[in-house]
Chain A
Amino acid sequence: MNQEKVHNDVRSFRRFSTIVLTVLTVITLLPILLIVIASVTDESILLTSGYTYFPGRLSLDSYYYMVRQGPMILRAYGITILVTVLGTLGSILLTATLAYPMSRRDFKWHNTLSFLVFFTMLFNGGVVSAYIMWSTIFGIKDTLLALILPNYLVTAFNVFLIRNYYSNSIPTALIESAKIDGATELTIFMKIMLPLAVPVMATVALFTGLTYWNDWTNGLYYITNPELYGIQNLLIRIMNNIQFLKSSSNAALLGTQTVDLPGTSVRMAMAVIGILPILIVFPFVQKYFVKGVVLGAVKG
Chain B
Amino acid sequence: MTTRAVKKKKSSTAQTLPLMLIALPGIIYLLINNYLPMFGVFLAFKDYSYVRGIFGSKWNGLDNFEFLFRTKDAWIMTRNTLLYNAAFIVLGTVLAIFVAILIHELGKKRRVKLFQASLMLPNLLSWVVIGFIVYAFLNADNGFINNTVYKALGWQPVSWYSFRPPWPYILVFVYLWKYVGTNSIIYVAGIAGMDREIFEAAQLDGASKVKQILHITVPMLRPTIITLTLMAIGRIFYSDFGLFYQVPANSGRLFDVTQTIDTYVYRGLMERNDVGMSAAAALYQSLVGFILVVGANALVRRIDKENALF
Which residues of A line the B interface, CB within 8 A? 1, 6, 9-10, 13-14, 16-18, 20-21, 24-25, 27-29, 31-32, 34-35, 38, 46-47, 49-52, 93-95, 97-102, 104, 106-109, 113, 116-118, 120-133, 136-138, 149-151, 153-154, 159, 184-186, 189, 210, 213-217, 220-221, 232, 235-236, 239, 264, 267-268, 271, 274-275, 278-279, 282-283, 286, 289-290, 293-294, 297-300
The residue that B132 contacts in the complex, of A151, A185, A235, with Cβ under 8 A, is A235
Q: Could you name 11 residue pairs across A and B whose Cβ atoms are closer than 8 Å?
A: A9-B209, A51-B148, A126-B283, A127-B266, A132-B48, A184-B18, A215-B126, A216-B127, A264-B142, A290-B185, A294-B185
Contacts of B124 in A (CB 8 A): 210, 214, 275, 278, 282
B43 and A239: CB pair below 8 A? no
A contact patch SS: helix
- B217: CB under 8 A from chain A? no
| CB-CB under 8 A for A297 and B228, given A34-B136, A101-B19 | yes
Cα–Cα, bound, A14→B22 (Å): 53
Scoring A1, A100, A129, A214 by chain B CB atoms within 10 A of each residue's CB, the highest score goes to A129
Spot the interface stretch: B72-80, B86-94, B162-170, B285-293: B285-293
Scoring B101, B249, B282, B289 by chain A CB atoms within 10 A of each residue's CB, the highest score goes to B282
A216 and B126: CB pair below 8 A? yes
Interface size on B, as a range, is 35 or more
- B115: CB under 8 A from chain A? yes
Cα–Cα, bound, A221→B266 (Å): 9
The 6 closest A-B pairs by CB, nearest first: A129-B40, A98-B26, A125-B37, A50-B147, A126-B282, A50-B142
* B117: min CB distance to chain A, Å: 6
B106 and A294: CB pair below 8 A? no
- B105: CB under 8 A from chain A? yes
A128 and B26: CB pair below 8 A? no
Scoring B107, B133, B249 by chain A CB atoms within 10 A of each residue's CB, the highest score goes to B133
B128 and A34: CB pair below 8 A? no
B265 and A113: CB pair below 8 A? no
Contacts of A38 in B (CB 8 A): 136
- B2: CB under 8 A from chain A? no
Render B85-121 as a binary contact track against A, CB cut-off 8 A, 1 for contact: 0000000000000010111011100010101111111
B54 and A125: CB pair below 8 A? no
The residue that A126 contacts in the complex, of B41, B126, B133, with Cβ under 8 A, is B41
| CB-CB under 8 A for A50 and B231, given A113-B23, A118-B310, A239-B135 | no
- B38: CB under 8 A from chain A? yes
B177 and A31: CB pair below 8 A? yes
* A162: min CB distance to chain B, Å: 11
The residue that B185 contacts in the complex, of A100, A118, A221, A293, with Cβ under 8 A, is A293
Contacts of A189 in B (CB 8 A): 22
A32 and B282: CB pair below 8 A? no
The residue that A186 contacts in the complex, of B22, B39, B41, B43, with Cβ under 8 A, is B22
The residue that B147 contacts in the complex, of A17, A52, A104, A213, with Cβ under 8 A, is A52
B133 and A32: CB pair below 8 A? yes
Scoring A121, A274, A297 by chain B CB atoms within 10 A of each residue's CB, the highest score goes to A297
- B175: CB under 8 A from chain A? no
* A179: min CB distance to chain B, Å: 9
A275 and B209: CB pair below 8 A? no
Cα–Cα, bound, A210→B182 (Å): 14
- B191: CB under 8 A from chain A? no
Contacts of B68 in A (CB 8 A): none
Contacts of A35 in B (CB 8 A): 132-133, 136
Contacts of B269 in A (CB 8 A): 127-128, 131
* A294: min CB distance to chain B, Å: 5
Contacts of A290 in B (CB 8 A): 116, 185
Interchain Cβ contacts within 8 Å, total number: 293
Cα–Cα, bound, A41→B142 (Å): 13
A129 and B33: CB pair below 8 A? no
| CB-CB under 8 A for A125 and B41, given A28-B177, A32-B133, A34-B137 | yes
Contacts of A31 in B (CB 8 A): 133, 136-137, 177
| CB-CB under 8 A for A236 and B41, given A97-B22, A293-B182 | no
B118 and A25: CB pair below 8 A? yes
The residue that B181 contacts in the complex, of A28, A133, A184, with Cβ under 8 A, is A28
The residue that A300 contacts in the complex, of B126, B128, B249, B309, with Cβ under 8 A, is B309
The residue that B18 contacts in the complex, of A159, A186, A215, with Cβ under 8 A, is A186
A24 and B286: CB pair below 8 A? no
The residue that A120 contacts in the complex, of B18, B34, B206, B289, with Cβ under 8 A, is B34
The residue that B128 contacts in the complex, of A117, A125, A184, A232, with Cβ under 8 A, is A232
| CB-CB under 8 A for A32 and B122, given A126-B285, A136-B54 | yes
* B27: min CB distance to chain A, Å: 7
A239 and B249: CB pair below 8 A? yes
Closest to A217 in B: B241
- B3: CB under 8 A from chain A? no
Cα–Cα, bound, A149→B29 (Å): 9
* B213: min CB distance to chain A, Å: 9
The residue that A221 contacts in the complex, of B148, B186, B270, with Cβ under 8 A, is B270
- B25: CB under 8 A from chain A? yes
Cα–Cα, bound, A14→B111 (Å): 12
Closest to A219 in B: B128
B15 and A267: CB pair below 8 A? no
Cα–Cα, bound, A15→B93 (Å): 24
Contacts of A151 in B (CB 8 A): 33
B121 and A29: CB pair below 8 A? yes
